Structure 1
């Protein structure tokens, strides 16, 4: 039951990151909601990984490690971008697309390791 709740929150947070990225493609923005969603995705993903390892499930540790590093990069990029957005400063195109693009890459990796 806990795993299901975490998975639902994880999927919703990833959908928000990608959806807000697509909705704000031009001009590129990183909204505070993307940062909060990235943080939620990271926390729920890490929690699901810990639960899976504690239950003795056979998992791809390298795949999850790569996903966690990418998720951490998304959190950092989203944090920087939302700070600039709150200050009224322009967000670079690369930073805005890094948040959404890395989220898409993480979804592809998740599908590949399952």
Structure 2
């Protein structure tokens, strides 16, 4: 079971890296990339699984709730941006920066909240 937990954590970290890395890679010409979209999906799924795993102990419900809310906002923003990109429309700069910026905020909440 410890291996499964480690795999879930690794997927969660790689998903966060895909979101923030895609943002940094396209910072001058903001858009929502496919890697950011799939990263947001993987982050939500692995985050829910890790939350279920944490319920066996004493989780910090406030921290996990805030992380989940930010994750849902990143997911929705990535969905909207990816749909626009797939239709050949220009992704609004604010929407593209919201995906990466909130992904970074989610990482900071996870690491700095003690």
Q: Structure 2-normalised TM-score?
A: 0.94
- Unmatched runs of 5 consecutive residues or more in structure 1: none
- Residue in 1 aligned with 2:113? 113
RMSD value over aligned CA atoms? 0.9
**What is the distance in 2 between the residues matched to 1:89 and 1:26?**
17
Q: What does residue 48 of structure 2 align with?
A: 46
List gaps (5 residues or longer) in structure 2.
none
Residue 103 (structure 1) aligns with: 103
For 1:106, what is the secondary structure of its paired residue? helix
Paired position in structure 1 for 2:14? 12
Distance 1:103 1:65 in 2: 15
Q: Deviations over 1:54-79 (max 9, x none)?
A: x2x12110110000000000000000
- Are 1:27 and 2:46 counterparts? no
**Deviant stretches of 4+, over 2 Å:** none
Taking the aligned partners of 2:34 and 2:22, their CA distance within structure 1 comes to 10
Q: Distance in 2 between matches of 1:19 and 1:33?
A: 9
Q: Is the 8 A contact 1:60 1:113 kept in 2?
A: no
What is the number of residues matched between the two proteins? Answer: 112
Tell me how far apart the structure 1 counterparts of residues 112 and 58 of structure 2 sit (CA, whole Å). Answer: 15
Output aligned runs, 1:33-72, within 5 Å.
33-53=35-55, 55=56, 57-72=57-72
